[in-house]
Structure 1
Amino acid sequence: MRFLSMIRVTQDTGQRPSERLLAEMGELMAQMTVAGVLVDTAGLRPLSEGVRVGLSRGRIKVTDGPFAEAKEVVGGYALLEAASLDEAVEWTRRFLQVHGDEWELECEVRAIDESCKPQG
């Protein structure tokens, strides 16, 4: 099964990872790759560089970032291949632990509905 772990930060502060975090994260990503769990991962650029595209009553609206009302921001993601939700949560827990007390984060882990994929 595939799972998407969305990394949420409380605000878009532009906080950069420390050298320690980069080193420990590199080790964890290597372990996840060897285990065949990590399909893809990346951080996301700041809200100021993004847009929101919405649909309301048949009309499309595009809004440039940053978004003043944003309290939580998706700061990155990991696409995981795991045998169960419990396994995906365990890897996500390890990801959060690497951050130590430098960061305020949470991850939302959700199974990917494979029936929604395009066929062919």
Structure 2
Amino acid sequence: MPRFMGFVRMEEGVGTPPQSLFEAMDAYIAEQAAKGVFLDGGGLYGTEDAVNFVVRQGEVTRVDGPYAEAKEVVGGWAIMQYDTLEEAVADQQVFAELHAKHWPEVTVISTMRQISTGPEAPGE
């Protein structure tokens, strides 16, 4: 069964999501977990304590947050499994619509990508 990683990106420093979004997400995640779709996930704190290791031309450099140049940051993630890509895409849209309904003043980019288990192409 294909697994997917979903994540949301948003502008940093937009504040805490409204309680109604937390409640809607709790219900949505509980439903997805009961169906065996939601495997794991959670929200992420801001980049104030983030650490990046940049590899450039064979050299490793450590860069500590916060990152003033960052326009968007990953705010949350999830690992899910579906029978088909179509089911994954449909559920990702439901997830995005929850954000549109409960936090309309914030621009959120909801992304879903299939998790690779080897050198094969997606969907194999």
TM class by shorter chain equals: 0.7 to 0.9
Could you list the per-position Cα deviations for residues 42-79 of structure 1 after superposition, in whole angstroms to 9, with x for gaps in the alignment? 11111111011111121110001111221121111111
Offset at 1:17? 2.0
For 1:39-78, list aligned pairs within 5 A: 39-78=39-78
Which residue is equivalent to 2:91? 91
On the 8 A contact 2:14/2:106 being kept in 1, the answer is no
Q: Distance in 2 between matches of 1:40 and 1:115?
A: 21
CA RMSD across the alignment:
1.4
Question: Which stretch shows the higher mean deviation, 74-83 or 12-21?
Answer: 12-21
On the 8 A contact 1:51/1:63 being kept in 2, the answer is yes
TM-score normalised by length of structure 1: 0.88
Give the total of aligned pairs.
115
TM-score normalised by length of structure 2: 0.85
Offset at 1:14? 4.8
* Residue identity in the other structure for 1:111: Q
**Identical pairs, percent:** 31
On the 8 A contact 1:14/1:46 being kept in 2, the answer is no
Could you list the per-position Cα deviations for residues 4-47 of structure 1 after superposition, in whole angstroms to 9, with x for gaps in the alignment? 112111x1115212221111111101110111110111111111
Which residue is equivalent to 1:37? 37
Q: Distance in 2 between matches of 1:51 and 1:5?
A: 22
In structure 1, the gaps of 5 or more residues are: none
Offset at 1:102? 4.0
